[in-house]
Amino acid sequence: MVDVRSEPERRLRAAGILQEVSARLGPVARVRLGELEGEAFLARLEQMHLDVVEPLDLLYGRRTELAALVLDLAGVVLDAAAARPWPLRLLDRRREVDPGWFQRSRMIGYACYADRFGGTLAGVRDRLDYLAELGVTYLHLMPLLAPREGENDGGYAVADYEAVDPRLGTMADLEELAGELHRRGVALCVDLVLNHTAKEHAWARKAAAGDPAYRDFYLVFGDRTLPDAYQRTLPEVFPDIAPGSFTLVPEMGGWVWTTFNDYQWDLNYANPAVFRAMLRTMLELANRGVDVLRLDAVPFLWKRMGTDCQNQPEAHLLAQAFRALTRVAAPGLLFKAEAIVAPEMLVQYLGAHDRFRPECDLAYNNQLMVVLWSSLAARDARLAGRSLSRLRPEPPSTGWVTYLRCHDDIGWAVSDVDAAATGWEGFSHRRFLNDFYSGRHPGSFGRGALFQENEATGDARISGMAASLCGIEAALASGDEAELDMAVRRLETLYSVVFSFGGIPLLWMGDELALRNDPRWADDPAHAEDNRWLHRPPMDWAAAGRRADPATLEGRVFGALRRLADARRSQLALRAGGETDLLFPDDPHVLAFRRRHRRSAPLLVLANFGDGWQSVDAGLPAAVGLTEPEHVHSTRGRLDWAEGRLHLPPWGFAWLTNR
């Protein structure tokens, strides 16, 4: 529905409502939190009035009495503030004083499944020294709340938001782990699966039992009329394992909206009770010590007929309202958007709309990931340069999460426009990438597998560990030492870009040891249908035992990543919220960009995606402000200048700054 009120009108109303709420809540807040904290609570609430009331007004103003809704939600937030443990309040204090804490170049992320890495949450705690060796300051643990039994999409089908998966431990274990991480200066990121619940969740059970309040938590249709109408413009996420977006559920008396698998029921965010329930879940996790909530599948939260039901304005309003409200109780909490969307839609999740609106603090830079793999297969960096230069910059108070691999497949978000500008045809380039990484292309070094091949559209995505995609698996199989050397360089050079693009670089568990695809991925019947388990291997601690020996593959890769982390820490230019300027060198194999952050010296990054020596004009550094270029880090440990050119070894990289 289109809101016809003018913006000033809405603002005035927002301010009025918040004044009223603040007046009613003020005395209680001062008693429950104490004078000092109560005052800070109210100040935050009032300061965020536009970020709270305006989105709620647009989302729910027509359905409910807005002032009552805001008062109710502010009460939920006050309860959480009063329950917030003291050590977390101290952390909040620091972060309010230093809001850029997560933007530092010291930030280095690591993502893993708790069970695959350490067995249990307590086991993860025992392994933290290992992460310290890599310089990790940000730990993303994959979904750890109690999932449904059997197939659960890797934990993305939550049956109980208030309990940890009993196989991993308890909420107390989570608190202990968070406490230990904080003592070590590491932030904890946890998945919040908010688009859907498992069909076994208590809300879904009550809905199925006929409770109308809970029925309204989900999207149910008595017959196929509306589902068919929606489906006409809906892409299928899992065409292979879960075709269509609706599931007939007899006990619900109709078709339930299920964007992902049939056991994952989409929540109805048009219902403010759903918003309230999820707000409580967020605050609960924050009070356990979670620093960053990864908002799973956030683009999907709002449905609109005639669209693909992704990236709707309301999905952004929801994220904005959630953020503002959670911040009032837990100012140290961050949101990370999992928005794997077209590049032109991405930066909006960091709040970059027609005017800046605080939304998520972090977002996955899916575009960078995709074009890195595209450049590697094509041995050509032009498409990467072009599409990255079109990516709108992140707002200064936010940051990208840069990554090479994660638990998901790689979908080729290469736009036809960018492909055409490189002289390629989008569809055939995407097909080439699938052929290349599934090893079907003649001479390919990729050893991945196709995921969710859609016969109707010809689309597919790719599964596989980085080491298998970049040629390490193939080289080990053939025993070709020279090829192995090149493959390791590829991995290092890919990560050299991930570590220098700006933002938080996120290592996917096992990449630091060049772990390959898990050959036993299908052994577990709950995984057998989903080949993303190919790149979710259990941690190989025997391989990790070799990490200190540079003569081993593991030692070589582990050492390379440690050196990237060390080099990164000293570069102020790599702070999140800075500027990345793509450069277009005269050699198509070389990706080049300059990273700057306000007063810092710029950093020039060059990465060679060719299998021979390549070079750029020696004047390039000076042209971008590096009048006295100095070596920071590179494949060879030095810069090779000759004949007016700066030379890069095959699959090599170099970082330069200004002396």
Q: Does 621 bind ligand GLC (CB under 6 A)?
A: no
Q: Is 296 a catalytic residue?
A: yes
Give the C-alpha separation, 433 to 461, whole Å: 9
Buried residues in 257-286 as b, exposed as e (16+ CB within 10 A): bbbbbbbbbbbbbebbebbebbbbbbbebb
Q: Give the nearest distance from C-beta 451 to ligand GLC in angstroms.
A: 11
Tokens of 632: 């920071």
Span near ligand GLC by CB under 6 A; candidates 149-157, 228-236, 541-549, 562-570: 149-157
Q: Does 437 bind ligand GLC (CB under 6 A)?
A: no
Tokens of 546: 């070799």
408 or 529: whose CB is closer to ligand GLC?
A: 408
| Cβ neighbours of residue 63 closer than 8 Å, sequence gap 6 or more | 270, 272
Catalytic residue among 57, 173, 191, 338: 338
Q: Is 455 a catalytic residue?
A: no
408 or 540: whose CB is closer to ligand GLC?
A: 408
Q: Does 411 bind ligand GLC (CB under 6 A)?
A: no
145 or 193: whose CB is closer to ligand GLC?
A: 193
The DSSP H or E segment spanning 189 is: strand 187-192
Q: Does 499 bind ligand GLC (CB under 6 A)?
A: no
Q: Does 153 bind ligand GLC (CB under 6 A)?
A: yes
Q: Does 343 bind ligand GLC (CB under 6 A)?
A: no
21 or 340: whose CB is closer to ligand GLC?
A: 340
Span near ligand GLC by CB under 6 A; candidates 13-21, 148-156, 381-389, 417-425: 148-156
DSSP string, 335-359: EEE-----HHHHGGGGTBSSSB---
648 by DSSP, 3-state: which?
A: strand
Q: Using alpha carbons only, what angle is made at residue 658 by residues 652 and 659, rounded to the nearest 5 degrees?
A: 115
Edge-first strand listing for the sheet containing 603-608? 579-583, 590-596, 603-608, 653-658, 629-634
- The site that binds ligand GLC (CB under 6 A) totals a number of residues, namely 10
Span near ligand GLC by CB under 6 A; candidates 1-9, 48-56, 152-160, 547-555: 152-160
- Closest residue by beta carbon to ligand GLC: 156
Q: Give the nearest distance from C-beta 473 to ligand GLC in angstroms.
A: 23
Binding string, residues 283-312; x marks residues near ligand GLC by CB under 6 A? -------------xx---------------
Q: Give the nearest distance from C-beta 631 to ligand GLC in angstroms.
A: 38
Whether the Cβ atoms of residue 278 and residue 297 lie closer than 8 Å to each other: no
Indicate the burial class of 183 (C-beta count within 10 angstroms; 0-12, 13-18, 19 or more).
exposed
Whether the Cβ atoms of residue 217 and residue 267 lie closer than 8 Å to each other: yes
Q: Does 530 bind ligand GLC (CB under 6 A)?
A: no
Catalytic residue among 54, 173, 296, 380: 296
| Cβ neighbours of residue 34 closer than 8 Å, sequence gap 6 or more | none
Q: Give the nearest distance from C-beta 366 to ligand GLC in angstroms.
A: 11
Q: Does 193 bind ligand GLC (CB under 6 A)?
A: yes
Q: Using alpha carbons only, what angle is made at residue 274 by residues 270 and 275, rounded to the nearest 5 degrees?
A: 85
Among 61, 154, 395, 585, indicate the residue that binds ligand GLC (CB under 6 A).
Answer: 154
Span near ligand GLC by CB under 6 A; candidates 117-125, 150-158, 353-361, 374-382: 150-158
Q: Does 161 bind ligand GLC (CB under 6 A)?
A: no
Q: Give the nearest distance from C-beta 260 to ligand GLC in angstroms.
A: 4
DSSP state at residue 238? B
Tokens of 243: 């075709």
DSSP string, 415-475: -HHHHHHTT--HHHHHHHHHHHHTT-STT-----EEES--TTT---EEE--HHHHTTHHHH
Q: Does 529 bind ligand GLC (CB under 6 A)?
A: no
Among 79, 408, 529, 617, indicate the residue that binds ligand GLC (CB under 6 A).
Answer: 408
Whether the Cβ atoms of residue 184 and residue 268 lie closer than 8 Å to each other: no
What residues between 248 and 287 interact with ligand GLC by CB under 6 A?
260
Q: Which residues bind ligand GLC (CB under 6 A)?
A: 153-154, 156, 193, 260, 296-297, 338, 407-408
Catalytic residues: 296, 338
